[in-house]
Amino acid sequence: MRKLIKVTEAGTGFIADYIGDNGEKCRDYIIETLGSIVPPESQSPGYFLFIGLMFDQVPAGPQKLLFLSEGENRVRATLTFGMNDDAIRLHASTIYADKANKGFFAALWGMAKRYYLKPAASVENADYGDALITETVISKAINWPHDSIVYQQVMDIDHGEDLKKPELYAFHALRFILAGIERDIQITGKTRQQHYDLESKRYHKPSHGSNTVGQSGAGGAVL
């Protein structure tokens, strides 16, 4: 993908409209928006990330994910207000952050009016997060811009280095979300079927051999 256009509510989930790799308009259906935030530390800026959790999953693999937005800033207040604005705009349900950073977590708690603020899982176990990210990347389960901070940082990681260092702020944000999905979210067959039933009723899908003109998203909906 290149750029998100918007996220809108649709029945039991949300629609994400975005520009694809070749400049085409695309549409995907997501269960919910999850975010994470890492405060500025030492010489590294703070960073936030939002990911859409999709209804589909890679066969025998992880749930598919859609990059929605990111931001970085060295000023803590500017970072948190930017995160909060995107959380509201993208209909985020949950934000993950390191609870051990008590001052930062408390400041976020005061802002969390429209979403849940949850302690990030496995904060000290960066190797676990690295394994989750590696599985996600190898299985091509995440659709993300190749010019994004998180993509470039993840792809440039030396797995022999200290994975807990603050310079890997986007890596930490992504592993917080993936570990949170593993800990908190269970997607049942019933949930998926409810989504597919809704999708078939709400969105026209061109039949094979039709002359319908339009661009199709991953869910097959004509845009």
89, two tokens: 């705009």
pLDDT tens digit sequence for 158-177: 877 889 999 999 999 999 99
* CB proximity list for 142: less than 8 A, separation 6 or greater: 51, 64, 65, 66, 67, 136
Q: Can you tell me which residue has the tokens 């969390």?
A: 112
For 118-145, what is each residue's pLDDT tens digit?
999 999 999 999 999 999 999 999 999 9
What is the rounded distance in angstroms from the CA atom of residue 139 to the CA atom of residue 46? 28
| Residue 177 included in any domain | yes
Tell me if 207 is assigned to some domain.
no
How far is Cα 55 from Cα 63, in angstroms, rounded to an integer? 7
* Residue 213 lies inside a defined structural domain of this protein: no
Structure confidence at residue 12 (pLDDT): 80
30 found inside a domain: yes
pLDDT at residue number 187:
64
215 within domain boundaries: no
Entry pTM? 0.84
Q: What pLDDT is stored for residue 117 in this prediction?
A: 95
In a domain, 108, yes or no: yes
210 pLDDT exceeds 80?
A: no
Beta bridge partners of 117: 95
Q: Is residue 142 part of a domain?
A: yes
Residues 51-100 pLDDT 10s: 999 987 777 678 899 999 999 999 999 999 999 999 999 999 999 999 99
Look up the CATH number of the domain holding residue 108. Answer: 3.30.420.280
Of 34-48, 63-77, 126-140, 185-199, where does mean pLDDT reach its minimum? 185-199
In a domain, 59, yes or no: yes
Q: Which domain holds residue 174?
A: 3-202
Question: Which of 6, 3, 51 lies closest to 31 in space, CA to CA?
Answer: 51
C-alpha dihedral (98, 31, 50, 159), degrees to nearest 10: 70
CB atoms within 10 A of CB 207: 7
Number of structural domains, the chain?
Answer: 1
- Band the pLDDT of 189: cuts 50, 70, 90: low
